[in-house]
Amino acid sequence: MKSRVPPLNALRVFEAAARHQSFSKAAQELHVTQGAVSKQIAVLESFLEQRLFERKSKGLALTEAGHNYLPNISQAMRLIEDASAGLIQEAGSRQLLNIDAIPSLSSLWLIPRLNALKASFPALDINLKMGDGPFSFEDSEADAVIRCLPMAKHYQSAELLCEEELVLVAHPALVSHNRLQQVSDIFEFPLLRHITRPQLWMQFWATYFSGESLPHPPRYGNGFEHFFLSLEAIRKQQGLGLLPRFLVKECLESGELINPLELSFASGYGYYLLVPKYRRSNSTLARLSEWLKQQLSASV
């Protein structure tokens, strides 16, 4: 009776070739010859009795069957890798998680707490990579991803860590001499923009002017892609900014920076932990999620 499971080596070669859209690049990754890659693809196509690749003028392309086959094979390979790594880690009494997190949270909040994380998870090691924007687990080795996303309930394999509250932040020297006593005084200062979320100041105005026309045109200053860049500009007295409370709590408590009028608002965004579907039951990731939520709750 013919086995219903294709040869594992052929599947591994297919996944690499499909991901690279190239037999030669797959050969380089797997440290075999291009001929060996072609042979394994032929074995798999023979087993499945259908073509997975086709040659085009611009190079190699997946057939429709190949496109449909790839996501399931990629997930299966990751499951095998995960299960094998788990056994190896248990044997060595250590665990390793690859985490892809947004830059500001990574640099300003998570890295300063890695010692606390180690105290709670003595056998856990972290590989931390900074990333932003849309994410696909098929193209990454990450075990978990942290992203700031619009608040919603439809995200798959995502858990809300905390909602984002933005606070008005200034350097005390910039607003000294009673120059900022009411909301309308804000218009006297340069206002730092968030490049990827330009609506933040509009949300601020809507919160504190309730649809009324603004008393003065805002003086928008420099724009920054990430909150950690805005924070540095605020430290250099370049303007006022809107930053997540949990990122600046310690700066506010120490008096290095101030929220001069105690102004804040809910941005409609939240910080989410995303994991691939096949890792939802991972106990370490579940514990890590709870630890992150506790730490973030203590930072607001």
Cα dihedral 246, 247, 251, 252 sign: negative
Rounded Cα distance, 147 and 131, in Å = 8
**What tens digit of pLDDT does each residue of 222-272 get?**
999 999 999 999 999 999 999 999 999 999 999 999 999 999 999 999 999
Main-chain dihedrals φ then ψ at residue 291, nearest 5 degrees? -65, -45
Contacts of 151 (CB under 8 A, 6+ apart): 160, 163, 268, 269, 270
First to last CA, the chain: 63
3-state DSSP assignment of residue 140: coil
Contact 70, 78 (CB under 8 A): no
- With cut-offs at 50, 70 and 90, classify the pLDDT of residue 55: confident
Residue with tokens 């190896």: 88
pLDDT at 116: 95
pLDDT at 96: 87
Q: What is the mean pLDDT of the chain?
A: 89
Rounded Cα distance, 76 and 87, in Å = 17
Mean pLDDT of 135-164: 87
Rounded Cα distance, 247 and 110, in Å = 10
**What tens digit of pLDDT does each residue of 65-90 get?**
999 999 889 888 888 877 776 665 55
Cα dihedral 70, 273, 163, 241 sign: negative
- Residue type, position 257, single letter: L
What are the b/e assignments for 121-156, b being 16+ CB within 10 Å? beebebeeeebeeeeebeeeebbbbbbbeeeeeeee
| Count of CA atoms in the C-beta half-sphere (13 A) of 297 | 8
Rounded Cα distance, 225 and 279, in Å = 31
Domains defined along the chain, listed by start: 8-88 (1.10.10.10), 146-300 (3.40.190.10)
Helix/strand/coil percent split, the chain, to 5: 45, 25, 30
Rounded Cα distance, 28 and 34, in Å = 8
